Structure 1
Amino acid sequence: MGGRVFRELVGICGIRFARRGAAADAVAGVTPTWVAVPASVDGASAVMRVAAEHGLTVVARGAGTKLHWGSRPGHLDLLVDTARLAGIWHHPIEESYAEIGAGTPVRAAQAALGRVGQRLALDPGSDGATVGGVIATDESGPLAHRHGTAGDQLLGVSYVGPNGLLSHSAGRGVGRLLCGSFGGLGVLVAATLKVLPAPAARAWVHRSVWTPLEVHDLVDVVVADPVQVAAIEVDLPVRGPRGLGALSVLLEGAPAVVAEQARRVATLLGGDAEVYGEAPEWWGRYSARPHGIALRITVPTSDLHAAVYALRDAAGHPVPVRGSAGLGVVHAALPGDTPPDRAVAILDAVRGVLLARAGSCVVVSAPGPVRDAVDMWGPVATQDVLRRVKSRFDPDARLAPGRFFGI
């Protein structure tokens, strides 16, 4: 069967765009048997029909910046690379939307829209991330504070199901299901996203902070004020050159308005708050190192400081934390050499605290031994609903098996 599958993939994608999988193609440590890179939506549908005919399990890939995220696939026959499904396919200049190929790097889409004074309200932390990858992993950056997540930006999606059928869905219903599905419900080929005017001016107000409780109090002050901020980010490293960490607030809009609002926010923050024309170097970047244990904590902003303290207490030492303090969504990093049983104990303790606060702690990525030992997702209240959704979209469980909340 292997030779036949390969010939069919070559016939669809071309000899240069169908090959055997290699270690560099591994998804959370699992190497695919084949890799196919279709050149068109019709090609993606044809590839998926081959997969259906031969009963192949499939994972989709954009730029590959987050293939180490999430649960390990139970089995992987075919990796469908969307790199050639790129470009802005439909963008009426007078309208506030654009249809963009899933394989388009967000950076490239922003550059193209920037030429006509527009942008996407997407600023993922993964360098080189594609539109499809951001949606599949529900990756958000600082701008989510004002504009919402990738799911909030979606106006429609086009995706290929496990049987090769191309579907178009307007509105946010199906799109929101695809967000965070890790390709477990369909292979996204294009997304229609909101397009916004690019801001004429931006300014960051930066202040040193020493404790999570101080961050809580300062965020409360800023959020309670009428000033409209675009983002509020925090960086709490283990140690820093100016105090323990930093809080930074982004203002966007007309130059005069931004200047006035930045001065106001600096006064609200007090201390050593200053206004800058550029973001701090840590802005929008993750705190975890490549081979570390990366966690994403989501909790009501009023309890964010409690979550950070709980993580510190469970680990027995300060833990680097960075992210959207104004949303209660932060990323934390544990050392990659943390023993698996110790990682389990830390997660159990933190999740126990968060459970009482309507929060969650997800293991975004981890070394193999830790990944195999821990529950990557933690308690999921809607597990039965998720199973029904998975069964509806992928009844034979061939799309990214094990990647969709462990299903």
Structure 2
Amino acid sequence: MVTSTSPAAPVDLAALNRSLDGAGEIREAGPDDMVDGVPASAVARPSSVAALSALLREATGQGLVTVARGAGTAMSWGNPPERADLLLETTALDRLVEHEAGDLVVVAQAGLAMRDLQERVGRAGQELVADLPPERLAAGSTVGGALATGPSGPRRLQRLALRDLVLGATVVLADGTVTASGGKVVKNVAGYDLAKLMTGSLGTLGVIVQAAFRLHPARPERATVTRAGPTEEVARLARQVVASQLAPAAVELDRAAGSDQATLAVLLEGTHDAVRSRSAEAAALVGGEVGEAPPSWWARMPGGDVTAKATATLTGVSDLLRTARAAEQEHGAAVAVRGSAVGVLHLGITAPDPAAVAAVVGRLRAAAPSAREGTVTVLVAPPELRAGLDAWGPVAGLDLMRSIKNQLDPGRNLAPGRFVGGI
């Protein structure tokens, strides 16, 4: 589904500035202030939660559409919004609020860069296992931005995805209401786990201003076992590693576009002796080589004009790899596949025209025909390739999701159209 855009609403900059009451700044938007090709009219950068709340209340009162922005590393994800009258930057909300090292809990504001959060908890020998793509980390991806996009990194195999590590979140709704749910908060919204609800919603339900996370102790040693070979064989070996007693921290696959070969990378973490022993066992199991560092492609998005996320069952990963190769041959496309052998992968798709892109995505979805068996979601696609492209595919519970949008943002003032079903 391609979201159509509407003309921007008139913006009363003076009233928006008054709402900040000196806690932040507002300016007219420049040529770079866009959301996936949709230009904004104004940009605000509040420096307190109270100012952000008052700003949203004023913007909604003016009938404006507001889109939140952290470091801007994923503004092209999802569909373009219907409008983007006001860009709300969260980067001034960048405090590490609390770090209870003894309880393995950290509380941070939404504008804090994830790399800075990782560095600060790392001083206590701890880590937030988010595993964002290195390119996003380097560009300053924020706590709020990470939650809004719901990343899935290699080490979710043992320690789950970011949404599973969120203990609670404080969120500002479109009408300016500041609300919260989960741990480390004082006021709850009855019936909703806001932290998980907001994760992956692309800012369409509320603006995240603070979140609490569960941390893990950093493991002192690591080793990586790699093995390259025919795609089917590598996928089979990956399943064997996952089913073994090796307790790998991650089992990743990489298949370059157009190739019948793939690479398996198994990450082992723990104490020195345990890692040394288990890596030797893993190398013997897959016939691979042991090294200290993961391969250069580790956790990175594959290249391609279109980026998609695919989920599959453990056995369905082989079907997905096989289908990617078949789709290349049928439609003159290139489909790179990279990600977890337990079934969360990213695809880099390059195809000659919009029809070929849509055909490749449809072919991949046919390999995982239900939400339980797997899904394929288009994350990023340039405008010239969006024609006829359904970014989300079949979605279970869409009516319920629309109902939640209607309850939290009845005026559709927060990034309408970016999320599934035009939410």
Q: TM-score, normalised by structure 2?
A: 0.89
- Bigger Cα displacement from structure 2, 219-228 vs 161-170: 219-228
* Partner residue in 1 for 2:376: 361
- Say if 1:365 and 1:371, in contact at 8 Å, map to a contact too: no
- Say if 1:238 and 1:244, in contact at 8 Å, map to a contact too: no
CA distance in 2, matches of 1:293, 1:398: 28
**1:6-405 map, 5 Å:** 6-9=14-17, 12=20, 17-125=25-133, 126-127=136-137, 128-171=140-183, 173-211=193-231, 213-238=232-257, 244-270=261-287, 273-289=288-304, 292-316=305-329, 319-325=335-341, 327-335=342-350, 338-355=352-369, 358-405=373-420
Unaligned runs of 5+ in 1: none
- Say if 2:11 and 2:62, in contact at 8 Å, map to a contact too: no
Q: Deviations over 1:202-247 (max 9, x none)?
A: 1111111321x2232111211121121111111111378xx83311
* Partner residue in 1 for 2:188: none
CA distance in 1, matches of 2:73, 2:375: 23
CA 1:10–1:284: 2 relative to 1, 3 Å? farther
Q: Secondary structure at the match of 1:373?
A: coil
Q: TM-score, normalised by structure 1?
A: 0.93
CA distance in 2, matches of 1:73, 1:79: 12
Identity of aligned residues (%): 36
Q: CA RMSD in A?
A: 2.0
CA distance in 2, matches of 1:239, 1:360: 22
Return the letter of the residue paired with 1:149.
A
CA 1:265–1:323: 2 relative to 1, 3 Å? same
Q: Deviations over 1:58-86 (max 9, x none)?
A: 11111111001111101111111111111
Q: Report how many aligned residue pairs link the two structures.
A: 398
CA 1:352–1:181: 2 relative to 1, 3 Å? same
Return the letter of the residue paired with 2:364.
V
CA distance in 2, matches of 1:104, 1:332: 29
Matched, 1:4 2:12: yes
- Say if 2:24 and 2:47, in contact at 8 Å, map to a contact too: no
Q: Secondary structure at the match of 2:200?
A: coil
CA distance in 1, matches of 2:15, 2:412: 25
- Say if 2:307 and 2:380, in contact at 8 Å, map to a contact too: yes
CA distance in 2, matches of 1:32, 1:359: 36
- Say if 1:6 and 1:19, in contact at 8 Å, map to a contact too: no
- Say if 1:119 and 1:198, in contact at 8 Å, map to a contact too: yes
Return the letter of the residue paired with 1:385.
L
Q: Secondary structure at the match of 2:418?
A: coil
Q: Secondary structure at the match of 2:315?
A: helix
CA distance in 1, matches of 2:383, 2:395: 22
- Bigger Cα displacement from structure 2, 345-354 vs 36-45: 345-354
**1:41 Cα deviation (Å)?**
1.2
CA distance in 1, matches of 2:204, 2:39: 17
- Say if 2:234 and 2:262, in contact at 8 Å, map to a contact too: no
- Bigger Cα displacement from structure 2, 188-197 vs 213-222: 213-222
**1:13 Cα deviation (Å)?**
7.3
Return the letter of the residue paired with 2:236.
D
Q: Secondary structure at the match of 2:112?
A: coil
- Say if 2:173 and 2:408, in contact at 8 Å, map to a contact too: yes
